[in-house]
């Protein structure tokens, strides 16, 4: 386990992406931004599904602000749309910067099809 376990997961995700496996080849994108109660409307223009996490406080150069994170689980192919979304949020909120982070994740959408297929 430990560090080797993490590297094994990353390598599995890379292999899964190469063969188009939607179960393992996912990326979690997080946009870190100020919360001006407009994030859902802006994000709706780019993605069918996302989560907005609120109730946090951010700090930038000594100024405190209501902060939020927009979380999107997609694939590497969504990277440009995520950057476009971050740019629109930055302009709409009058921010200097919106930070974007990402990491490989496993993904499985549990629905009737996955239950029927046992996966």
Give pLDDT tens digits for 22-70.
455 799 999 999 999 999 999 999 999 999 999 889 888 898 989 999 9
Look up the CATH number of the domain holding residue 60. 3.30.70.120
Domain count for the chain: 1
Residue 74 lies inside a defined structural domain of this protein:
yes
Residue 118 lies inside a defined structural domain of this protein:
no
DSSP string, 59-73: EETTEEEEEEEEEEE
Helices and strands (DSSP H and E) totals, the chain: 4, 4
Residue 119 lies inside a defined structural domain of this protein:
no
Residue 6 lies inside a defined structural domain of this protein:
no
What integer is the mean pLDDT of 78-86? Answer: 97
Residue 91 lies inside a defined structural domain of this protein:
yes
Residue 76 lies inside a defined structural domain of this protein:
yes
Say which residues have a Cβ less than 8 Å from residue 51's Cβ, sequence separation at least 6. 70, 71, 72
Q: Where in the sequence is the domain holding 61, given as residue range(s)?
A: 26-105
pTM over 0.85: no
Residue 77 lies inside a defined structural domain of this protein:
yes
Q: Are 102 and 29 in contact (CB under 8 A)?
A: yes
Centroid of chain to Cα 89: 14
Closest CA to 101 of 59, 56, 70: 70
Residue 4 lies inside a defined structural domain of this protein:
no
């Amino acid at each position: 386990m430990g560090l080797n376990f993490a590297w094994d997961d990353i390598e599995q995700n890379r292999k899964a992406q190469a063969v188009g496996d939607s179960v393992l080849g996912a990326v979690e994108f997080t946009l870190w931004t100020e919360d001006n109660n407009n994030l859902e409307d802006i994000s709706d223009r780019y993605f069918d599904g996302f989560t907005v996490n609120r109730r946090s406080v951010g700090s930038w150069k000594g100024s405190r602000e209501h902060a939020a994170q927009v979380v999107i689980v997609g694939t590497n192919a969504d990277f440009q749309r995520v950057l476009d979304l971050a740019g629109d949020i930055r302009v709409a909120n009058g921010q200097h910067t919106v930070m974007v982070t990402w990491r490989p994740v496993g993904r499985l959408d549990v629905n009737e099809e996955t239950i029927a297929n046992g996966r």
